[in-house]
Structure 1
Amino acid sequence: MDAIGRRTLAGVSLPDTPIVGRAIEYARQRCEPYLFNHVVRSWLFAARIGQLQNVEHDAEVVAVGTLLHDITLNEHFAGPRRFEVEGADLARTFVRDGGFDERRAQLIWDSVALNSTPSIGLYKEAEVALCTAGICLDVVGLQYKLIPSTEMARIVGEFPRLGMKRRMTRCFCQIANVSRETTYDNFARDFGERFVPGYRAPSAVDSVMNAPFQE
């Protein structure tokens, strides 16, 4: 990729290109303030992990993938597919319209679709793995100690969490309540089982045992 401009945000050196700027504004429009801060922190964490570990990667892909990974996560989401897949399609269209070729657009799709599936995302291409790592750091603290404490404090100070645990829980419970068919094989199931009265996801065991074959 050709040399690109740089910007500094919360002390982190980041790519500064037209599509990154558009992704920031798109995320700002689509996300509530707490969620916008989350996607920005995820970007900052992903960038710093890449820098600290000397991971060669496409910085624009990581930027856009993290910034757009939660554009469908809200308390009104109603499917019909997993919110990550719905978001991945929107993000891929966004970058195609912005001039990304199909390889880079697919990296964006994978980064968004797999953002809550680290058991897969962390082992894919560097860009997908970094997006996943930055997002998981902000949500569950994965590799928390990798970021120096002073840098962590500055990032969280400039982009505060604004009750993220509580607000995200409400979103996941909404999904489990109204779109539970999208939750049976992913983390949203845990929120349904913990917080949503009457929630019962289909069992993979039942699916295997009830497959239309004799054996």
Structure 2
Amino acid sequence: MLANVAIPDTPLVSRAIEYVSDRSEPYLFNHVMRSWLFAATIAEVQGVPYDAEILAVSALLHDLGLVEAFSGPLRFEVEGANAARAFARKEGLDERRTQVIWDSVALNSTPSIGLHKEAEVALCTMGIGVDWGGGWCYDFIDDIRMKSILEAFPRLRMKERFTRTICGIVECRPETTYDNFARDFGLRFVPGYHPPSLVDSLLNSPFEE
């Protein structure tokens, strides 16, 4: 039990916790821990069958793309998914489980897709959604567990720090933000940010109609 939530106590999960703890700022580490515990709680309430290890690894590693060590030319969700896949392969996971981890991380900020995939992907998306904005499944978390999780892994001004992190990506790699939620942060907080319009891409395409 961790913060009143039943979790898998396996070497794989322990190594995933250590891996992300060694590479993340405290606020980000606490975010992924809360997301995992929220996801596990939702799974218990819903009574759906799922791979508890894969859900744990997916939730724990879902924001590796925000860590400087894994920054790159792709949108941060894909950079994180690639890093999570490398971790899974190094741990000896088979390709099916590895692919579920990749999908969970790559789609973690795209609920319109993630919620309709495998149970682990959907649960990961829901757990992250609870911690992100209280959305989708907040009411699945009872008051006792919510208090326990927040006490064990406090938010550490996540709203402010996460905003600063995403705005940093918008400023340094704007081309990776045009088709994900980082666009919203750029439009609101980053002066001079002008993402191209996909409508213009269609209407200005080099085809005669």
- SS of residue in 2 equivalent to 1:28: helix
* Higher strand proportion (structure 1 or 2): 1
Which of 143, 146, 150 is equivalent to 1:156? 150
Which of 89, 104, 120 is equivalent to 1:127? 120
- Which ranges of 4 or more aligned residues in structure 1 deviate by more than 2 Å? 74-79
**C-alpha displacement of 1:161:** 0.2
Please list the CA deviations of residues 53-91 of structure 1 after superposition, one character each: whole Å capped at 9, or x if unmatched.
001100011000000001121479753110110010110
Indicate how the Cα distance of structure 1 residues 131 and 149 shifts in structure 2: closer, same or farther if over 3 A, else same: same
Letter in 1 for 2:6: S
- 1:191-210 equivalences in 2 (<5 Å): 191-210=185-204
Indicate how the Cα distance of structure 1 residues 25 and 42 shifts in structure 2: closer, same or farther if over 3 A, else same: same
8 Å contact kept, 2:80–2:106: yes
Tell me if 1:58 matches 2:64. no
* Count of residue correspondences: 208
TM-score (norm 1): 0.93
Cross-structure match for 1:181: 175
Indicate how the Cα distance of structure 1 residues 49 and 172 shifts in structure 2: closer, same or farther if over 3 A, else same: same
Indicate how the Cα distance of structure 1 residues 178 and 213 shifts in structure 2: closer, same or farther if over 3 A, else same: same
- In structure 1, runs of 5+ residues without a counterpart are 1-7
Please list the CA deviations of residues 5-63 of structure 1 after superposition, one character each: whole Å capped at 9, or x if unmatched.
xxx11011101111111100001011100100000000000000000000110001100
C-alpha separation between the residues in 2 aligned to 1:76 and 1:56?
Answer: 34
- In structure 2, runs of 5+ residues without a counterpart are none
- 1:16-165 equivalences in 2 (<5 Å): 16-74=9-67, 79-142=72-135, 143-165=137-159
Q: Cα RMSD between the aligned structures?
A: 1.3
Which has the higher mean CA deviation after the structures are superposed, 33-42 or 201-210? 201-210
Percentage of matched positions with identical amino acids: 64
C-alpha separation between the residues in 2 aligned to 1:213 and 1:141?
Answer: 45
